Amino acid sequence: MSVLVLVEHDGKSIKDATLATVTAASKLGEVHALVAGNNVDAVAQAAAKIAGVAKVYTASSPALEHQLAEAVAPVAAGLMESHDAFVVPATTTGKNIAPRVAALLDVMQITDILSVEGPDTFTRPIYAGNAIATVKSNDAKKVITVRTTAFEKAAAEGGSGTVEQVDAAGDPGTSSFVSLDASESERPELTSAKVIVSGGRAFGSSDQFHALLDPLADKLGAAVGASRAAVDAGYAPNDYQVGQTGKIVAPEVYVAIGISGAIQHLAGMKDSKTIIAINKDEEAPIFQVADIGLVGDLFKIVPELTEKL
Amino acid sequence: MKLLVAVKRVIDFNVKPRVKMDGSGVDLANVKMSMNPFDEIAVEEAIRLKEKGVATEIVAVSIGPAKAQETLRTALAMGADRAILVQTDEEVEPLAVAKVLAKIAEEEQPGMIILGKQAIDDDNNATGQMLAALLGWPQGTFASKIEVSDTATVTREVDGGLETVKLNLPAVVTTDLRLNEPRYASLPNIMKAKSKPLATKSPGDYCVDVARRLETIKVTEPAKRQAGIKVGSVDELVERLKGLGIAK
Amino acid at B58: I
- At residue A76, the pLDDT reads 97
Contacts B236 to A, Cβ<8 Å: 294
For A214-243, what is the mean pLDDT?
92
Burial B98-115 (b: 16+ CB within 10 A, else e): bbbbbbbbeebebbbbbb
pTM, rounded to two decimals: 0.92
Distance between CA atoms of A180 and B164, rounded to whole angstroms? 6
- Output the CA torsion sign for A59, A60, A66, A71: negative
User: What is the DSSP pairing of strand A53-60 with strand A30-37?
Assistant: parallel
Q: Helical H runs in A126-223? A: 206-220
| Cβ within 8 Å, pair A69-B159 | no
| Beta partners for residue A199, in sequence order | A226, A257
Question: Which chain A residue has its CA at the smallest distance from B226's CA?
Answer: A289
Distance between CA atoms of A117 and A87, rounded to whole angstroms? 15
Distance between CA atoms of A199 and A215, rounded to whole angstroms? 13
Q: Residue A239: which pLDDT band, with cuts at 50, 70 and 90?
A: confident
- At residue B248, the pLDDT reads 67
DSSP-based three-state secondary structure for B136: coil
- At residue A221, the pLDDT reads 92
Residue A229: count of CB within 10 angstroms of its CB: 20
Taking CA atoms, A112 is separated from A132, A209, B8, B125, B231, in Å, by 11, 31, 21, 10, 36
Contacts A287 to B, Cβ<8 Å: 227, 230
- At residue A11, the pLDDT reads 94
Contacts B233 to A, Cβ<8 Å: 294
Residue B89 has pLDDT above 80, yes or no: yes
For B158-181, what is the mean pLDDT?
93
| Cβ within 8 Å, pair B219-A138 | no
Residue B227 has pLDDT above 80, yes or no: no
Q: Give the dihedral of Cα atoms B200, B206, B207, B211; nearest 10 deg.
A: -60
- At residue A9, the pLDDT reads 96
How far apart are the CA of B65 and the nearest CA of chain A, in angstroms?
Answer: 19
Among B123, B133, B217, beta carbon nearest to A135: B217
Q: Does the bond joining B170 to the residue before it have cis omega, within 30 degrees of 0?
A: yes
DSSP-based three-state secondary structure for B14: coil
| Cβ within 8 Å, pair A292-B231 | yes
Question: Which chain B residue has its CA at the smallest distance from A255's CA?
Answer: B241
Among B26, B131, B228, beta carbon nearest to A292: B228
Residue A183 has pLDDT above 80, yes or no: no
| Helix (H) / strand (E) containing A71 | helix A69-79
Q: Residue A141: which pLDDT band, with cuts at 50, 70 and 90?
A: very high
| Cβ within 8 Å, pair B237-A305 | yes
Among A111, A126, A287, beta carbon nearest to B121: A126
Mutate which: B112, B164, B225, vs A, most A CBs within 10 A: B225
CB A220 within 8 A of CB B247: yes
Distance between CA atoms of A144 and A158, rounded to whole angstroms? 25
The residue count for chain A: 309
Percent of residues, chain A, with pLDDT higher than 70:
100
